[in-house]
Amino acid sequence: MSDLAWWQRGVIYQVYPRSFQDENGDGVGDLAGITARLHYLRALGVDAIWISPVYPSPMVDFGYDVADYCAIAPVFGTLGDFDRLVVHAHELGLKVLLDFVPNHSSDKHPWFMDSRSSRDNPKRDWYLWRDPAPDGGPPNNWLSRMGGSAWEKDTVTGQYYYHAFLREQPDLNWRNADVRTAMDRVLRFWLDRGVDGFRVDVLWLLIKDALFRDNPPNPQFKAGEPDHHRQLQTYTEDQPEVHDIVRSMRATLDEYGERVLIGEIYLPVPQLVSYYGPNGDGTNMPFNFQLINAPWNATEIARIVSEYDHALPLHAWPNWVLGNHDNRRVASRIGPRQARVAAMLLLTLRGTPTLYYGDEIAMADGVIPPDRVQDPAELRQPGIGQGRDPERTPMQWDGSPNAGFSSGVPWLPISGGDGINVVHQDGKASSMLTFYRCLLALRRSERALVEGAMERVVSSGNVHTYERRLGGDRLFIALNMAGADAPVEAPEGTLLLSTTEGHEGKRIEGPSLLLAGDEGIVIRASKPT
């Protein structure tokens, strides 16, 4: 695998820093806590950690409202703590990726405070300012992704500024050359500190329509959906000029050697793959979120896998994401038994997998009492299920009241669950943690799972099957995506791993076998076909 970059060979693990490990007892996770748990991650078998925002911030949106792009929020530690984390991670062979949030800043960022101070301030054009409509209202009909109008009137200057999210998160004007230069300096600041790459927040939103035209109505809008779904985002996302910005970011990272640029992009596959760039000069990986939102059945999963693999440009490297800080946990979406099947799917598909902290122990969504709700997405749009607190609850390290996360009061309630913690599962052959370790070890040991082609992607009833092939090496994967036993045509060979503990090394005679309900298997075929 020497011809592949580390991010093609490796597995990425997302750390939500507020919830991973609290070392100073204030109830909020910190950089020292992440550093203290790096040995756990190395032993788990991942290759890189992606750390959600740790910049200074009023924390209106928990770090996605950045007040200083080149510093560390005191709640998480110091730049020295960050440097120590990077050094220790590299000593253990782990890469470190940072969240980069270029679409918007905090309204407390000095850039915005200058921008709003007067209409002729040199930084006025760093943000999106418009005169009121003739009736004195917002300049157009654009809606915020947090509910209501995306325009906020400034009483000092009499103009409106645009915010795709909260009013405390004004959008930067990426058509302004000075903004691009300033953000390039931000990338270089962290690259010079040893960062191995970035996950770029809401990359597809960076450029807005130059004429500020109204978005058309969405004829398929359904009651109960987020407010901004009332419109098609024709003029507020995926504008052609965004690709120039992506190429510029990629060029900066390429100056530093083998770095990785990952884009958060929620778009249909034909649009998504355009972010690789026509010559492979875009993002190294536009995040592929299809497994998060897919109906969980064999027919749909086989269709998604096949269509995505065929849609990729020849120069593109695929990737798959099973969970993140913005979506329900996989164990809650499809149940703990199918979560094992999903893990096998994620780690045997072609491309780079990204894991979400706690999924390796089958953490489920937490129950958040109304008086403990933190997420502004829920506080500002109550009752439509947009709150993200349940999937952000603290990592469960042991069975103590605070789960080994903190000596103080955790910022969110502990999710709980019998045996859902690292200490309980460590060393137990049947545990989810052991299963993840085995899956990750299998992926490291089998070149076909990293370099091999995807072949024979099919579904039959509730069973999804496919093969990974590299030269004469042929691995067959079968996933039963329902609870009832199901027959499957399988090649002769050796069972390498099953979601059901204790069958590894078993001889498979073929041409058929009975797959147990909720079972997934990986077989090394004896004969190529």
Tell me the HSE value of 142 on the side-chain side, using a 13 A CA sphere.
27
Q: Which of 91, 131, 241, 255 is catalytic?
A: 255
Known catalytic membership, residue 255: yes
Pick the closest to residue 96 from 9, 30, 34, 25 (CA basis).
34
Q: What span, in angstroms and rounded, lies between the C-alpha atoms of 477 and 345?
A: 8
Q: What span, in angstroms and rounded, lies between the C-alpha atoms of 52 and 50?
A: 7
Pick the closest to residue 274 from 262, 286, 266, 264 (CA basis).
286
Cβ-proximal residues to 37 (8 Å cutoff; 6+ apart), any chain = 20, 21
Contact 104, 170 (CB under 8 A): yes
Cβ-proximal residues to 424 (8 Å cutoff; 6+ apart), any chain = 398, 399, 431
Which residue's structure tokens are 């990629």? 250
Q: What span, in angstroms and rounded, lies between the C-alpha atoms of 48 and 53?
A: 16
Known catalytic membership, residue 258: no
Look up residue 306 and give its DSSP letter: H
Contact 165, 17 (CB under 8 A): no
Beta strands in 324-462 (DSSP E): 352-356, 453-460
Q: Which of 107, 201, 360, 467 is catalytic?
A: 201
**Among all residues, which ones are annotated catalytic?**
201, 255
